[in-house]
């Protein structure tokens, strides 16, 4: 256990400009300008590449049937007992509820629950859609609203998002522009999710899954 003198010396070292850099993050504030050196020719492929570089899992499928098969296979692999999802038309059309129930997995939908936080906290897998997907960074843009609770995307250890390919954007500034000066106002909340949850604020050691799901899957359809 270091003494007081060593502890204070460490703090001075880590807070001195230019002397300590624990991550690969840029030293300058974000300006809103893309750092992409050239055009992104294949946004879906780039999205999956960036997501997987962060430890996530990406799958590009042609149909809802393929997407449904992916979700069912994942539930089997994770030995899921409880599955929660957003209450939105897109996920109704995906049709995973009945096959999951037939496989012995309990399915909970937002509208069915009085205390969704408690149920989502016990769930093995959470499923949602996303407003946008950003190819440049492998990021999902999630909006809040009726039937679309944050707990579904944060509390289960495994999180799955199903996104139509039409919602793919190339860069972060494109996503910002979608909300800048919105005529009808902003959604209840807008969150940018990039890969599995990770934290490095304890002894500068990276820990995956600390403040959210450590197992993230994105299915692109189209």
State the Cα–Cα distance between residues 47 and 149, nearest whole angstrom.
Answer: 24
Q: Which residue is associated with the tokens 């929660």?
A: 84
What percent of the chain shows pLDDT beyond 90? 53
pLDDT, tens digit (0-9, with 9 covering 90-100), for 56-66: 999 999 999 99
Asked if residue 207 lies in contact with residue 150, where contact means CB atoms within 8 angstroms, the answer is no
The pLDDT-based confidence of 95 (bands split at 50, 70, 90) is very high
The pLDDT-based confidence of 145 (bands split at 50, 70, 90) is confident
Closest CA to 213 of 175, 174, 160: 160
pLDDT of residue 30: 42
Tokens at residue 55, please?
Answer: 């430890």
CATH number of 41-221: 3.40.50.10420
Q: Which residue is associated with the tokens 């209450």?
A: 87
Mean pLDDT of 147-172: 93
State the Cα–Cα distance between residues 163 and 61, nearest whole angstrom.
Answer: 10
pLDDT at 34 over 80: no
Q: Which residue is associated with the tokens 């990039």?
A: 194
Closest CA to 117 of 158, 86, 147, 152: 152
DSSP state, 148?
A: B
pLDDT of residue 82: 96
State the Cα–Cα distance between residues 101 and 109, nearest whole angstrom.
Answer: 13
Domain chopping of the chain, boundaries:
41-221
pLDDT, tens digit (0-9, with 9 covering 90-100), for 196-205: 755 555 555 5
97: Cα separation from own chain's centroid:
22
């Amino acid at each position: 256990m270091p003494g007081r003198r060593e502890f204070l010396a460490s703090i001075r070292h880590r807070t001195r400009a230019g002397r300590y850099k624990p991550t690969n993050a840029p030293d300058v504030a974000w300006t809103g300008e893309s750092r992409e050196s050239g055009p992104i020719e294949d946004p879906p492929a780039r999205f999956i590449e960036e997501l997987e570089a962060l430890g996530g899992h990406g799958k590009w499928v042609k149909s809802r049937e393929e997407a449904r098969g992916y979700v069912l296979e994942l539930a089997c692999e994770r030995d899921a007992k409880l599955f929660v999802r957003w209450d939105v038309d897109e996920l109704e059309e995906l049709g995973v509820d009945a096959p999951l129930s037939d496989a012995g997995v309990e399915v909970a939908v937002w509208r069915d629950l009085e205390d969704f936080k408690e149920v989502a906290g016990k769930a093995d897998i959470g499923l949602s859609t996303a407003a946008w997907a950003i190819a440049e960074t492998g990021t999902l843009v999630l909006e809040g609203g009726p039937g679309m609770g944050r707990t579904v995307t944060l509390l289960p250890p495994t999180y799955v998002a199903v996104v139509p390919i039409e919602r793919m954007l190339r860069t972060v500034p494109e996503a910002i522009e979608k909300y800048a000066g919105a005529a009808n106002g902003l959604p209840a909340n807008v969150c940018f999710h990039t890969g599995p949850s990770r934290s490095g604020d304890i002894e500068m050691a990276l820990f995956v899954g600390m403040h959210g799901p450590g197992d993230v899957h994105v299915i692109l359809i189209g």
